[in-house]
């Protein structure tokens, strides 16, 4: 795999980690509306460790980097988020193996693999008011753009972030069917899912910083 691709993956992991840590309180407040409020804390502790360990992660491929991050996330994030986010990164890493570069089509495949892993591990489906309700439609939109011939990574990332934000906000219309939020029943309607919003915030921040990524 090219050194530029590996450097970009390292840049992306660093941006994700920093965004999660910076938004710990905000993500926790979102979760506290109908959940137990520990989402922001748990996610931040895990990605703090990713940021600490990132300099020592292997450099031979993007897949190796993502797999190392998956192991850290799975072991360091508490509650249900650790297994779910860890599985998502691990499935993405598996799909990245053997690729010389992570082109847009490969990224779509990685996202599809992550989605499948989340569905299996979390026993959730679209409509259950989880992060899937943002990730699936955003990935659909990304796949359509790639199939139409768009190859500019900044344009694709901007569109992906916008689709995530739109879908995340629409989770306010859903009743939670999974996790602690499901105990709230119809009271969960009216507020967005914390995980879905977190994905939108992460993608938006990554899109803002994308021009500063390592030169390809």
Over residues 110-136, mean pLDDT: 96
pLDDT at 183 over 50: no
Report the pLDDT value the prediction gives residue 34, as an integer from 0 to 100.
75
- Other C-beta atoms closer than 10 Å to the C-beta of 105 total 13
Residue 60 confidence (pLDDT) above 70: yes
Over residues 186-194, the mean pLDDT reads 79
pLDDT tens track for 131-163: 999 999 999 999 999 999 999 999 999 999 999
Q: What percent of the chain has pLDDT over 70?
A: 93
> What CATH number did the domain enclosing 46 receive?
1.25.40.340
Quote the number of domains for the chain: 1
Reported confidence tier of residue 35, pLDDT bands at 50, 70, 90? confident
Residues whose CB is less than 8 angstroms from the CB of residue 164 and which lie 6 or more positions away in sequence, other chains included: 134, 135, 138, 196, 199, 200, 203, 204
* Mean pLDDT over each residue of the chain, to the nearest integer: 92
**142, 156 Cβ separation under 8 angstroms:** yes
Domain span at residue 187 reads 3-212
């Amino acid at each position: 795999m090219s050194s530029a691709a590996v450097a970009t993956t390292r840049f992306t992991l660093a941006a994700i980690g920093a965004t999660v840590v910076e938004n710990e309180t905000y993500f926790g407040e979102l979760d506290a509306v109908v959940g137990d409020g520990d989402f922001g804390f748990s996610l931040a502790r895990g990605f703090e460790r990713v940021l600490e360990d990132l300099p020592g992660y292997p450099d031979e491929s993007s897949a190796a980097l993502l797999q190392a991050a998956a192991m850290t996330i799975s072991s360091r994030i508490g509650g249900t988020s650790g297994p779910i986010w860890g599985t998502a990164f691990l499935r993405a890493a598996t799909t990245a193996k053997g690729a010389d570069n992570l082109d847009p089509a490969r990224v779509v495949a990685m996202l599809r693999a992550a989605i499948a892993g989340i569905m299996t591990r979390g026993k959730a489906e679209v409509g259950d008011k989880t992060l899937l309700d943002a990730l699936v439609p955003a990935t659909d939109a990304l796949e359509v753009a790639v199939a139409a011939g768009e190859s500019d990574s900044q344009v694709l990332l901007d569109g992906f972030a916008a689709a995530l934000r739109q879908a995340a906000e629409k989770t306010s219309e859903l009743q939670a069917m999974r996790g602690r939020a499901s105990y709230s029943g119809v009271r969960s309607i009216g507020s967005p899912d914390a995980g879905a919003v977190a994905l939108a915030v992460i993608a938006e921040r990554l899109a803002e910083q994308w021009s500063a990524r390592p030169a390809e």
